[in-house]
Amino acid sequence: MRHQGNPGQLFRTNIAITLRVGLISLLSSGILIATYILNKSNESNKSILNFVVATLSASATITGTFYVGKSIRQSAESQELDRKLSLESQKIDRTLLYIQRWNDSHYSSFKKLAYQIHLLIKDQHQNQKGRIVREEIEKNPDLRMEVTEVLNFLEEMALCIKRDIIKEDLAVDFYRSIVLQYCDIFGVWIAQLRNEKEEHRLYQQLTDLYGKWKDR
């Protein structure tokens, strides 16, 4: 992880450097003015002093321009960093919202029914599990509606992860077991819906996420 510098320390350092440059310019100007007064009767020295003053003035202008440019550049970099931090914070907030939605009591009924189906099929042969799940859903319209709603919700979340709208590394800690469990239970139902609707990409984001997280 890259170490982030202290913006306040950077600001203080820039001020210190700028003050040093200003102090040096002021002292140099004072010395030149004093020398000019002491040698004002000497035309040769006056010409040299005029040249040195002009050179120092140009140098001070260049130095000032450099620090102004540097300050603008650092300000732009700071604004870009603030923008990235803001976007990251928004992604975290959206991810936490998805976690809160799943914990809402709205899904309590589905969770109970899904657990009952899990108990029905856990000791069954793999070939029988799909048949039992289909029968339970087809004989219970309320269950069918709730399964569809939950699968739609998980598909939406999977799409948000794919589009980098929410943080996967945060969502996976909470949702991995949920996605794996419900895709294992209702995978046969998803396959049946795809055949019925002749839409083979139905819940594609969810099943892709299942495959990705299964090996994680």
pLDDT at residue 21, rounded to an integer = 54
Residue 143 within any structural domain of the chain: yes
| Under 8 Å between Cβ of 180 and 213 | yes
The position carrying tokens 């700071």 is 78
> Within this chain, do residues 109 and 169 fall inside the same structural domain, yes or no?
yes
| Pair 74, 154 in one domain | no
How many angstroms from the chain centroid is the CA of residue 161?
12
Domain end call among 68, 91, 114:
91
Q: Is residue 96 part of a domain?
A: no
Residue at which a domain ends, from 60, 91, 122: 91
Residues 6+ apart with CB under 8 A from 113: 140, 143, 146
Model pLDDT, residue 2:
45
> Do 80 and 119 share a structural domain?
no
- pLDDT at position 160, please? 95
Judge if 80 and 129 occupy the same domain: no
51/136 same-domain check: no
Digit-coded pLDDT (tens) for 104-155:
898 999 999 899 999 999 888 888 988 999 999 999 999 999 999 999 999 9
Residue at a domain's end among 40, 63, 91: 91
**Rounded (10°) angle between helices 126-138 and 168-197:** 80
Report yes or no on 97 lying in a domain: no
The reply to whether 113 and 198 lie within a common domain is: yes
Q: Are residues 59 and 113 in the same domain?
A: no
Do the domain assignments include residue 99?
Answer: no
Determine the pLDDT at residue 122: 87
Parent domain of 183: 104-214
Number of structural domains the chain divides into: 2
Q: What are the residue ranges in the chain where pLDDT is below 70?
A: 1-60, 63-64, 66-67
